[in-house]
Amino acid sequence: MKKYILSITLLLASMQIFAQQEAMYTQYSFNPTAINPAMTSGSNEINGRVIYRKRFLGGDFEGDPQTQAVALELPLANEKMNLGLQIYNDVAGIIKSTGAYGIYNYKAKFNDNLSLTMGIQAGMTNFRADFTSVQLIDPRDPNFGQNINKSLMSVGSGFKLSNEKWFVAVSVPQLIRTDLSIIVNPNSKYSASNARFLFGMVGYDFRLNRMLKLETNVLAKVIENAPVAFDYNAKFGFHDKFFLGGSLRTANDKFNENSGQTRLGDAFIGMMEVQLTDQIRFGYAYNLATNKGNYSTGSHEIMLAYKFVKSRELEVINPRF
């Protein structure tokens, strides 16, 4: 039984790693480089973002999963090149994952409207699982006799083709398959590794009038040995200062076909974003899983962004002043 529990734990551990490498935050529309290194904000100023997420609030589990992330964008050379940095920390019970990776992308313009952005990212992830802290009926059980502490390489790439109204983007944030295999005793070895993700995204912005616009996009998540899952996103923007919208995350029918339930999706997400000042932007999202059962009241996510605005040049009307 304990071997079965350990196998599940290792599987969840590996899921934590590639989930973080792909940074599947609810607010990836506010932090697009988290899933595609080519999807920068397009601003010619330095941008920084801080994101915090708390999941399974109100449930019966100890060690509710939490995620903290910091992102930074630095534009270079005539808005054609960008450097970026992503740092994250993820904790779920005895499992912890901390990583950082740098981003570089280059934008090639075909004309005034159409451009192609290509991006790469590379970094390291430190994965830890504190198995020895688990309280056991038999404290001598060798299956829980050692912890995991591994540093893993992460390399990814992506591109985005876009104009002022639409975009098409594809990315593979994790090109290298990492290995978490451990030998718990001479006769027993447990293996776990990450799965490669491929993200495909298309979007179109509708300008309804001078004050109101509608931003829509669909994200397809292709994972090895699993059905394709989709996110359908839409949000209204008022004066480009206030955004209100939501998402529908589709259910994975392969794993729910025997559940006896018919669900429209796997999760409903409501989100808002407010431009508080010229420099500060605030975002909030609430994620409600449709299969949460009795262990979750949903998850809350907060985003705070800061733009390092360039000093405004003094407009000289008369040389005397």
* Domains of the chain (ranges, CATH numbers): 2-308 (2.40.160.40)
Rounded-to-integer distance, Cα 180 and Cα 151, Å:
10
Confidence label for 321 from pLDDT (cuts 50, 70 and 90) = very low
Within 13 A of 91's CA, how many CA atoms are on the CB side? 10
Query: pLDDT by residue (tens digit) across 81-114?
Result: 899 999 999 887 788 889 899 999 999 989 888 9
Rounded-to-integer distance, Cα 216 and Cα 237, Å:
11
pTM of the complete model: 0.78
Cβ 71 vs Cβ 84: under 8 Å: yes
pLDDT surpasses 90 at 19: no
Confidence label for 201 from pLDDT (cuts 50, 70 and 90) = very high
Query: pLDDT by residue (tens digit) across 234-268?
Result: 999 999 899 999 999 886 554 444 444 445 567 88
Within 13 A of 52's CA, how many CA atoms are on the CB side? 3
Cβ 64 vs Cβ 54: under 8 Å: yes
Confidence label for 7 from pLDDT (cuts 50, 70 and 90) = very low
